[in-house]
Amino acid sequence: MQLLLKQNRYSGIALLLTMVILSLVTIFMTEFFFETALEIRAIENFKSSFVSQTVVKSMFKAMLVAISINETDFFEYLKQIYQTTESLTGGDQKLSILNPPKLLIALPEGSIPDFESAVIFTPYVRPIDHLFNLNRIQSKQGTRVPDSPNDRIIFNQFVNLISQIPIKIEQEGMEMEDAPAEFRFLELGEATRLYAAIFDWMDTKDDGRPYSNEAGVTGAEDGAYTEFEVNTELLIKNRRLDRLTEIRLIDGIKESGIPYEEWKKHFTVHPVGVDPGTGEFESRLNVNLANKEEIVTFLRRFEQNSEYYGELGGPPENKTHLQAYVDHAEEVADALIQFDEDGTRVVYTQRSLGSVLSSVDVGRNYSDFFIYHNQWYEIRLVAEVDHIQSEIQAIVFIPRNASGEATGNAVIKDFILR
């Protein structure tokens, strides 16, 4: 009897041990399969990420080649891509090459050849030579003399431009939700204070005197930033801007109500324009890509009969000739937008531009306003493979001669791959 009990006891212990071992094996196997599944998924994600990054890099290289060879044909092709999705353009007349749609919408399969295995989103390629370079406010050598002739010229262009930007008026109250949007524009005093604050942020002088001129404009030196609890030596940058986002730190920018997207639309810190090596960064508009509204808006930047110049006794004598283009901005825009018999937009050279504008009483100072090929571009590309997205953002400079031919390799700035 005792022997039987011992045998039963040993059998029970053995069964218990067997159950424990099986449980541990089950746990280990479950963990093993779980870890294996994770590893497999990680490998698949890595593969998809690698492929999607390869796609966007290939697209980026291909676009640089296409832009370098024939910029006009490239943007005509890009325009057709935008038009494949009606919601992007809102109609052909509203489509802008200088400010293309930023919406991320998957293009129909085959829209961009050689990338059938990936989902390609609407490419964003924007020429930026026409943007106002905020670093023009200071000279290449250092602090510009406040209220000097050159300072007044740049000051006036800044005020003319920023005063055209509509600022949405915030409406309070539930009953106003469905009310139409209302906008306002900066008054002269508001616009001039912004210029002076940007000037003081970038100037290199150490005496801390704020900007001032004969129009009574005052800038913003260290004293305007005392609310920030940092070392006083770090309040003002006293150098040119490296990134446009820095303007958010400058006194009065946020309070102006101008959204950052509007700053990006109209301003840059890159040396855009003709002869970027001079440091003066004269912005120019590509006459072959701009639409009528963009031509008119750009020309009005050079208004000489401005309220600002009025307080200073008028514009410099060497700039009064610019007013003819401002006075006839609408006529100039109408004359420039021409199409041939096939409905293709006419592409101008310096010689042909003079011929078409001969009917408008503006003189022959085309080079003060227009270029025929861009050199600076903002690019954003997005591709997706197996739900894994990759993106490239970059600023690109392509050196060109007067005929528009690329004279060297592209220079890539602010490159981001993620």
Residue 92, pLDDT score: 46
- 5 pLDDT band, cuts 50/70/90, is very low
Q: Is the pLDDT of residue 356 over 60?
A: yes
Buried b (16+ CB within 10 A) or exposed e, 89-117: beeeeebbbbebbeeeeebeeeebeebee
Q: Is the dihedral of CA 101, 106, 108, 112 positive or negative?
A: positive
pLDDT at site 3: 47
- Calpha distance 319→314 (Å, rounded): 10
What dotted CATH number matches 129-273?
1.10.40.60
The pLDDT value given to residue 378 = 95
Q: Helix 188-202 to helix 149-162 angle, to the nearest 10 degrees?
A: 130
Write out pLDDT tens, residues 262-302.
999 999 999 887 554 554 668 899 999 999 999 999 999 99
Report the C-alpha gap between 273 and 132 in whole angstroms. Answer: 9
The two tokens of residue 77 are 């092709």
pLDDT tens, position by position, 304-323: 999 999 888 888 887 788 89
Q: State in Å, rounded, how far the first CA of the chain is from the last one.
A: 77
Strand ranges in 194-284 using DSSP code E only, listed in sequence order: 267-268
Q: Which amino acid is at 19?
A: M
Q: Reduce the DSSP state of residue 344 to 3 states and report it.
A: coil
Domain borders along the chain are 2-127+375-417, 129-273, 284-369
Give the per-residue pLDDT at 271: 87
Mean pLDDT for the stretch of residues 391-412 = 90
Return mean pLDDT, the chain: 82
Backbone angles phi, psi at 413, to 5 degrees: -125, 155
Contact between residue 345 and residue 241 where contact means Cβ atoms under 8 Å apart: no
Q: What radius of gyration do the chain's Cα atoms show?
A: 30
Greater confidence, 89 or 316? 316
231 vs 312, more confident: 312
**Residue 65 banded pLDDT, cuts 50, 70, 90:** very high
Q: Select, from the ranges 59-63, 90-94, 343-347, the one with the highest average predicted confidence (pLDDT).
A: 59-63
For the segment 186-225, what is each residue's pLDDT rounded down to a tens digit?
999 999 999 999 998 888 875 777 888 887 888 877 777 7
Token pair 């749609």 in the structure block, residue: 101
Residue 44: the pLDDT is 64
387: tokens are: 């739900």
Tokens encoding 85: 């999705």
pLDDT score at 217: 84
Tokens for 305, please give them: 């009969």
pLDDT given for residue 46 in this prediction: 61
Q: 11-49, pLDDT tens digit by residue?
A: 666 666 677 677 766 766 666 665 666 666 656 666 777
- Identify the residue with better confidence: 166 or 109: 166
Could you read off the pLDDT of 320-334 as tens digits, one per residue?
888 999 999 999 999
CB 209 within 8 A of CB 220: no
At 55, the amino acid letter reads: V
Contacts of 109 (CB under 8 A, 6+ apart): 116
What is the DSSP code (8-state) at residue 289? T
Q: What is residue 34's predicted lDDT score, i.e. its pLDDT?
A: 58
Q: Which among 123, 118, 124, 125 has a CA at the least distance from the CA of 52?
A: 118
As a whole number, mean pLDDT of residues 44-56 equals 76
Q: 357 CB contacts (<8 Å, ≥6 apart)?
A: 332, 335, 336, 366
What SS3 state is found at 231? coil
| pLDDT at 143 exceeding the cut of 60 | yes
